[in-house]
Structures are given as structure tokens and as C-alpha cells.
Amino acid sequence: MKKLNIVTADLDNEIHAKAVLYVTNQYARDPMGLGTDLPEETKDNLIPEMKQFPGAFSLIAFFDDEPAGVANCIYSFSTFNASKVINIHDLAVNNMFRGKGIGQALLGAVERKAKEENCCKVTLEVREDNRARNLYERMGYSYGKPTMYFMTKYMDE
């Protein structure tokens, strides 16, 4: 019987750290990510930097003990609600594990954590052409009223 297990990553645990890096890099390789591997410098620094960053955490989905998915999240704060927020920065399921409910399970795990931590909401960003939008909409995520846009300005430009 296939077994799905979702855990909060302990980045001092080598198995967890390698799983977060592996699934995040698989996501980067996907057309919905970068379309290529993470740069070597990023791979070398991702786990040490996440360990140092207050409020960053990852949930890992293991399917039959294989790293199958990840939700890389960051706590934020809503001034309008005077409450914590969880932002899902990356939600990824490796190709070979898609269609097994892992994305939905990861979202559910993030939502449970948000309730446990008394967060007022969970946020995420999604590309217009990402088929995962259907999952997010089914799980009750919306574009809000008024519609908000996530804008970016990179500091190296």
C-alpha cells in the first residue's frame, strides 16, 4: 500500500534538508519554475540561508519514503488583521508523483499549521498559465476583491 507522510522539515536533519533541496530543484527545472536547475550557488546556499531566516519553514511530502513534494513557506504579518500570515512561496510536486493528491495534502497541511498558529490567512502566488490554479481554486483560494497583482523588482537590475 502506498503511504503519504507530510512532515515539517528539520533542516538539521540531512534527509529532510536533501529532500527540500531535491524537490525545490525539481520544481526549478519545471517550465512553471525556471525551466532549468537552480544555480550551483543557490543549491549550496539554500538550506543554510533558510536555517538562518526567521519564519521560513518547509513541509515535505514523502511518498513511500521518497521525497515527492514540498511547500516552502514564510511567516508574514497582516497589518489589516493584526495577525500572522503564512505565504506559500513554493508548492511543488515532482512529476512522477502528480495526480496522487499530494498537492492537495500539502495545502491542507499548510492550512492546519496556519490554524494552529492563529494565522489570519494563507497566501500564494501562481502564474496565469499554471494548471495548479485549478487545485487552488478547488481548495478555496481566490484572487480577492479587488484583484491584487504580485509585482517584482529585482535588485540586481
Residues 20-76 have pLDDT tens digits of: 999 999 999 999 899 999 999 999 999 999 999 999 999 999 999 999 999 999 999
96-131: per-residue pLDDT in tens? 999 999 999 999 999 999 999 999 999 998 888 888
Q: Report residue 139's pLDDT band, with 50, 70 and 90 as the boundaries.
A: confident
Check residue 156 and report its DSSP letter: T
pLDDT given for residue 130 in this prediction:
83
The domains located in the chain, with CATH, are 4-138 (3.40.630.30)
pLDDT given for residue 114 in this prediction:
96
Nearest to 42 by CA among 60, 20, 58, 66: 20
pLDDT of 134 above 60: yes
pLDDT given for residue 145 in this prediction:
80
SS (HEC) of 100-148: CCHHHHHHHHHHHHHHHCCCCEEEECCCCCCCCHHHHHHCCCCCCCCCC
Higher pLDDT, 156 or 142: 142
pLDDT of 1 above 60: no
For the chain, the first-to-last Cα distance in angstroms comes to 50
pLDDT given for residue 157 in this prediction:
65
pLDDT given for residue 115 in this prediction:
96
Q: pTM, whole model, 2 decimals?
A: 0.91
Asked if omega into 67 is within 30° of 0 (cis), the reply is no
Alpha helices in 1-141 (DSSP H): 14-29, 40-52, 102-116, 133-138
CA dihedral 68, 22, 9, 45 (to 10 degrees): -160
pLDDT given for residue 127 in this prediction:
83
